[in-house]
Amino acid sequence: MTGRPHITGEAGRYFPGYPNLAPIKPREEDIVDYVTMRLKKDAEMDAMDGKLEADILRIIPDRILGSYVSSLASESRTIG
């Protein structure tokens, strides 16, 4: 499994018997919900204004959506 799209080709080289990789991508709504929940738990909410919160809720999902997990699609094969 990897969270970096550029590693997918590398995985194919090291695991030639596993050509099918299944991408697992997060939904943007889930990321925004999680980040919002974490921001509400922030002990120093006074330090954040509306602009900073909006920037966080815009930038973090953008960055996270750029990486995702690839999982080997075959479940019953062993490597060796």
Q: Around 40, how many Cα atoms within 13 Å sit in the side-chain half-sphere?
A: 6
How many other β-carbons are positioned within 10 Å of the β-carbon of residue 6?
Answer: 8
Tokens (6 digits) for 47: 């330090």
Count structural domains, the chain: 1
The answer to whether residue 46 sits within a structural domain is yes
DSSP H stretches of helix in the chain: 8-14, 28-40, 50-65
pTM: 0.55
The answer to whether residue 79 sits within a structural domain is no
* Per-residue pLDDT, 78: 42
* Per-residue pLDDT, 22: 66
* Per-residue pLDDT, 2: 59
The answer to whether residue 77 sits within a structural domain is no
The answer to whether residue 80 sits within a structural domain is no
The answer to whether residue 78 sits within a structural domain is no
What does the DSSP assignment read for 47-62?
G--HHHHHHHHHHHHH
Going residue by residue through the chain (80 aa), what tens digit of pLDDT does each one get? 555 666 767 777 777 776 566 667 788 899 999 999 999 898 787 888 889 999 999 999 888 876 655 554 444 444 44
Domain extent, residue 62, equals 5-72
* CB-CB contact of 38 with 57 (8 Å): no
